[in-house]
Homo-oligomer: A and B are copies of this chain.
C-alpha cells in the first residue's frame, strides 16, 4: 500500500502562534481516500533541516506533500532546498513568469525583482496550475511522487483537491475504494467498548479497521473497510453497525456527524412535538446546545434557568413545601420543574435538571455530582438520579449530555 507523509514549513507554526491546519486537512482527505499518511512533520524556515528530512522521507514514503515556503521572501526556502536535496538544477519557467507578471498586473501590484523567484522551479517539475494566482509543482523521484504547495490555506486546499488528490488516487490505482463510518456512543467507557468489540466475531474478520476516539463526554468509533464494490462495502459497514448495536443497545447514538442535539431535534420534528427545558445546574447549556441546530425554533420553545429557589417556586411552581422539605436537588423538585416548564411554555415535553455542579454545595447524602433529570411528556413523568464525577465544567457537560440522551431514548 502507498504510504505517504506531509511536511509543513513555517517558523510561526513552531511558536504555536498558528495551528497547522493544512497538514490536518491533507491528512483527512488522504485518509478518506484510503491513502494512509504515516507521519506529519512541522519544521521552521530552515533549509538544512528541511533538506535532511526530504532525503529521509524519500527512503520511506511513496508520496510526499510539502506545504509552505513557496513565496517571494527570504524565508521561503522550499524550492531551493528541495532542488538541492534532490540534486536538481533550478530553471526559470518563462510561461510561469509571464503568468505571474499578468496576475500581479491584474491585482495592481507593482512588479519587483523578487517576484521572479516565484517562477524558479526544479528541472523536471510539472507546474500545478489550477488557473488562479497560486501555483505549486509536482516532481517524481524514483518511485516517489512529491507535491509542493503554497502555505496559504485556501490556495493549498484548492490545489490539493483539484490536482494533488486526484493524481494520487489514480496512481494508487487498483480500482479499490474505501468506505468509512463513524459511530457515536454515550454511556460506555472506551475501555469497555474495546472489550465489547474484541469479542464480536464480525469485527475479527480481515479487511476491517476499527478506531476508538474519546470525544468527551462521548466515545467515537470508526469503521474502515476497502474493496472494489461500493455496495459490498456499505453492506459490510451496515452489518458491523448492527452487530455492535445488538451488543451495546441504547448507548449507540448513531453514525456520522449528527450531534445528540441534532438527533433529538430530528425526533421532535418527526413526531411534531415541542420542547421546553428547565435548567438549574447546567445554567442554560441544554438550551444552548439545542439552539446550535439550525431550525431549532421549529420545536424548541425556550426554557427557564431557575438558578435560584425563588425562580423554581415562582416561575416553575415548585411548591415551597417541596423545596423546603426535599431540597432544590431532589427527585420531587426535578419532577415539578419538568412539569412546571411544560405548562409554562405550553410544550408537549418538559425536560428538567437540578444538581450540584460543585465545587461546593455537596453533602454526605448528596455529594457534588448528584443530579436529577426529569421528563414530563404527554404519557407521564419520569425522574432519574445520577452521580457524576469530575470538575464543575465536566459535571455540567455530563448533565446536559445525559439529559439530552434521556430525551433521545424517550423519543426514538
Contact = CB atoms under 8 A, between A and B. Distances in A.
A291 B284 contact: yes
A310 interface: yes
Nearest to A25: B16
A391 to B, nearest CB: 9
Interface in A203-227: 211-214, 222
A11 B283 contact: no
A287 B294 contact: no
B291 A212 contact: no
A39 B37 contact: no
A124 interface: no
A292 B15 contact: no
A37 B14 contact: yes
A328 B72 CA distance: 40
Interface string A273-297: 0000101011111111011101111
A16 B28 contact: yes
Interface in A14-32: 14-21, 23-29, 31
Interface stretch (A167-175, A298-306, A370-378): A298-306
A344 to B, nearest CB: 7
A267 interface: no
Interface in A42-69: 42-44, 46, 49
Contact of A29 (B16, B279, B290, B311): B16
A310 B346 contact: yes
B282 A288 contact: yes
A398 to B, nearest CB: 13
A284 to B, nearest CB: 3
B283 A287 contact: yes
Nearest to A36: B14
Interface of A is mostly: mixed
Given A14-B40, A39-B43, A310-B345, A296 B283 contact: yes
A291 B301 contact: no
A298 B281 CA distance: 14
A269 interface: no
A194 interface: yes
Nearest to A285: B288
A392 interface: yes
Nearest to A300: B307
A73 interface: yes
A211 B17 contact: yes
Given A191-B72, A297-B307, A345-B311, A19 B15 contact: no
Contacts of A39: 14, 41-43, 49
Contacts of A31: 14-17
A302 B307 contact: yes
A290 to B, nearest CB: 6
Nearest to A14: B37
Contacts of A308: 297, 301-302, 345
A16 B27 contact: yes
8 contacts: A14-B36, A16-B29, A17-B211, A19-B19, A109-B189, A284-B286, A301-B310, A310-B345
Closest 10 CB pairs of A and B: A16-B28, A283-B291, A284-B287, A284-B284, A16-B27, A302-B307, A15-B31, A284-B288, A40-B42, A302-B311
Given A279-B284, A292-B392, A315-B344, 19 more contacts: A11-B211, A13-B40, A15-B31, A16-B213, A17-B211, A18-B213, A73-B191, A108-B389, A114-B191, A152-B214, A284-B284, A284-B288, A284-B290, A284-B291, A287-B305, A288-B288, A292-B396, A300-B307, A302-B311
Interface of A: 11-21, 23-29, 31, 36-44, 46, 49, 72-74, 106-109, 112, 114, 152, 189-191, 194, 211-214, 222, 277, 279, 281-288, 290-292, 294-297, 300-308, 310-311, 315, 344-346, 357-360, 389, 392-393, 396
